[in-house]
Amino acid sequence: MKVKKFLSQIYMTLIFIFMYAPIVTLIVFSFNENKGRRWSGFSLKWYQEMFESEMIMSALWNTIIIAFISATAATLLGVIACIGINSLKGKARNAYLAINNIPMLNSELVTGLAMMLLFIAFGISFGYTTIIVAHTTFCIPYVVLSVLPKLRQTDQRVYEAALDLGAKPIYAFFKVVLPDLLPGIVSGYLLAFTMSLDDFIITHFTKGAGINTLSTLIYSEVRKGIKPSMNALSTIMFFSVLLLLGIGTYGPKWKAKLRKNEK
Amino acid sequence: MSKTKRLLAGPYLLWMIAFIIIPLVMIAIYGFTDKTGAFTWENVIAMVRPEHLKALWLSLKLAFLCTLVCLLLAYPLALILKAGGVKKGSFVVMIFILPMWMNFLLRTYAWLNLLDDGGILCTLLENLGIARFSIVGTNTAIVLGMVYNFLPFMVLPLYNVMCKIDDNVINAAKDLGANGFQVFWRVILPLSFPGIVSGITMVFVPSMTTFVISDLLGARKIMLIGNIIEQEFSTAANWNLGSGLSMVLMIFILISMAALNHYDKTGEGTSF
């Protein structure tokens, strides 16, 4: 049994190393004195350059705004859709689930290209709007898949009881159903936000000239070699998220501990 | 009441028709016409041109290899996570969500630092007295990049489906005299099948159509079908040909996934 546990630990560590080797490299090279693949001394100059670069800052701003708006829109549309889908049965329900699966089965490449053709055909000029519409579209399925199972688990009778006790449907929804759905909604939102943030392919086809997200800015730099200031930015983003995750996980525990100590 | 509820799916349906269904119709329109707008089969048949067929075959091969490696790596991991370490939830987040906050192009590009001639791994191997070599620009490098990027999409559905397997079922099998292998083969494997199916889908589709990973790690020597389609749109500017090819690719993927989903009897997505 102990051997098994030991082997499991080793296996998990190896996977972890595989996933984090490039990330560690990235972080280390953000402190490299020179641009290039060899270590030439510690320096913070890429961090300074990053904050001074208007291009990087505007790309960062675009990325975050787009992720925020698309994830919010996708969550709203997705949650409302889930309530509708959940009340359907049989063929109609399956049809909805099939539509929901199209963007996941249909590679990002085809989705992105198809949207580009749509925007061109209808004369919609490329920019913020097109990117946000595209991101919302590919984020909705993730929200639906996170929320729908939670909705199915909720007890319909509790909602009906609330109605019997005189609650209006909307009031009953917010007081009774929504709290049960919240974990699904939160994970759907976070997933949508993360997917939008990390997306390259769909943005590449729907952005048009003159606007960049971090992904497309990096892609345009690949040919001449990516500047370490990009690494610097990623390093900061990585540690911010790590910090947020840490607060999210351990924050409540510390709070509880502090309270205990006070008593 | 139920009727008003049903109406709530309306905005979603409209949105999906406008931005999923109609764009696909657009691809079909472009794919079946030439530059003058006349109907033609040319763009679809173009897939059998030797250079396209070669790229399609290579994509298929690499995507298959990547999916297989991901499955072989992820399955034991999912089993371990089910068996329960204390921090399994946070481990999943650490390998799935957190890396995504570092841009995926940047992470893939970082592999160059590790793999390239003069890179860290190469120098390490050289110092250990093993021959100096670089795998950048080979199929191996591309598969490695794909596995690196898409492994989480295999781990997550498998992990979710494993968590749903009732321990009592496993214990019952053990009580009835099944040995470790039998428990795995007759109980765990069949019950985890929906997870395997959605994992395969989520890895195979993006690896079959990628053009970024082959761009970054293939040193621009290796052309996958994704690269060919992307170039038709960006540099060659032959949208009709690009649309025709993507249509064939799409149908090809849909057929293989439909065949796969045939085995997923519950038919419920288990990815999340």
Among the partner-chain residues B12, B20, B30, the one whose CB lies closest to the CB of A77 is B12
DSSP per-residue codes, chain A: -HHHHHHHHHHHHHHHHHHHHHHHHHHHHTTBSSSSSS---B--HHHHHHHH-HHHHHHHHHHHHHHHHHHHHHHHHHHHHHHHHHT--HHHHHHHHHHHHHHHHS-HHHHHHHHHHHHHHTTPPPSHHHHHHHHHHHHHHHHHHHHHHHHHHS-HHHHHHHHHTT--HHHHIIIIIHHHHHHHHHHHHHHHHHHHHH--HHHHHHS-TT---HHHHHHHHTTT---HHHHHHHHHHHHHHHHHHHHHHHHHHHHHHHHHHH-
Q: Enumerate the residues of chain A whose CB falls inside 8 A of the CB of residue B269.
A: 97, 101, 145
**Interface contact flag, B19 A18, Cβ < 8 Å:** no
Name the residue among B26, B90, B119 with its Cβ closest to that of A118: B26
Report CB contact under 8 Å: A145, B151.
no
Is B105 within 8 Å of A96 when comparing Cβ atoms? no
Closest alpha carbon to A133 in A112, A148, A147, A151: A112
Q: Which of B5, B210, B253 sits opposite A84 (nearest CB)?
A: B5
Cβ-defined contact of A99 to B13 (cutoff 8 Å): yes
Predicted confidence (pLDDT) per residue in B98-108, tens digit = 887 788 888 88
Return residues 100-139 of B near A (CB < 8 Å): 100-114, 116, 118-120
Q: Which residues in chain A show pLDDT less than 70?
A: 1, 263
> Does residue B237 carry a pLDDT above 50?
yes
**What band does B65 get if pLDDT is binned at 50, 70 and 90?**
very high
Residue A6 exposed, middle or buried by CB count within 10 Å (0-12, 13-18, 19+): exposed
Which of B80, B106, B156 to mutate to test binding with chain A, by most A CBs within 10 Å of its CB?
B106
Per-residue pLDDT at B104: 86
Task: Tell me how far apart the alpha carbons of residues B165 and B160 are, in angstroms, rounded to a whole number.
Answer: 9
Which residues face B39 on adjacent strands?
B33
The phi and psi torsions of B39 (rounded to 5 degrees) equal -65, 140
Chain A residues whose CB is inside 8 A of the B134 CB are none
pLDDT of residue B270: 43
CB atoms A81 and B8 under 8 Å: yes
ipTM above 0.85, yes or no: no
Q: Express each pLDDT in B109-163 by its tens digit.
A: 888 878 876 667 777 777 776 666 677 778 888 999 999 999 988 988 898 888 8
B50-226: what CATH class? Answer: mainly alpha
In Å, what is the CA distance from B11 to each residue of A81, A170, A178, A188, B18?
A: 7, 18, 20, 18, 10
Closest CA of chain B from A50, distance in Å: 15
pLDDT, one tens digit per residue, over A63-96 is 999 999 999 999 999 999 988 888 888 788 888 8
Position B63 scores a pLDDT of 94
pLDDT in tens, A26-41: 888 888 887 777 777 8
Band (pLDDT 50/70/90 cuts) for residue B174 is confident
Question: pLDDT averaged over chain B?
Answer: 83
Question: pLDDT value at position B142?
Answer: 92
A53-233: CATH topology: MetI-like fold (1.10.3720)
| d(CA B72, nearest CA chain A) in Å | 12
Closest Cβ opposite residue B105 in set A108, A169, A200? A200
Instruction: Using pLDDT thresholds of 50, 70 and 90, give the confidence band for residue B89.
Output: low
Contacts of A12 in chain B (CB under 8 A): 77, 80, 85, 91
Chain B nearest CA to A16, separation (Å): 7
Instruction: Mark yes or no for CB contact B13/A187 under 8 Å.
Output: no
Domain limits, chain A: 1-32, 53-233
Q: Tens of pLDDT along B175-234?
A: 888 888 888 888 888 888 888 988 998 899 999 999 989 988 887 788 888 998 888 888
Of A37-41, A207-211, B27-31, B245-249, least confident by mean pLDDT is A37-41
Question: According to the model, what pLDDT value does residue B272 have?
Answer: 40
* pLDDT at residue B1, as a whole number: 52
Model pLDDT, residue B268: 47
* B85 pLDDT more than 70: no
Nearest C-alpha of chain B: how many angstroms from A227?
A: 10
Are B250 and A106 within 8 A, CB to CB? Answer: yes
Half-sphere exposure of residue B9: CA atoms within 13 angstroms, side-chain side: 22
Q: CB–CB of A197 and B211 under 8 A? A: no
* Chain B residue numbers touching A71 (CB-CB < 8 A): none
Can you tell me the mean pLDDT for B55-66? Answer: 93
B271: pLDDT strictly greater than 70? no
What residue segments make up the domains of chain B, in order of their start?
Answer: 50-226
pLDDT of B90 over the 70 cut: no
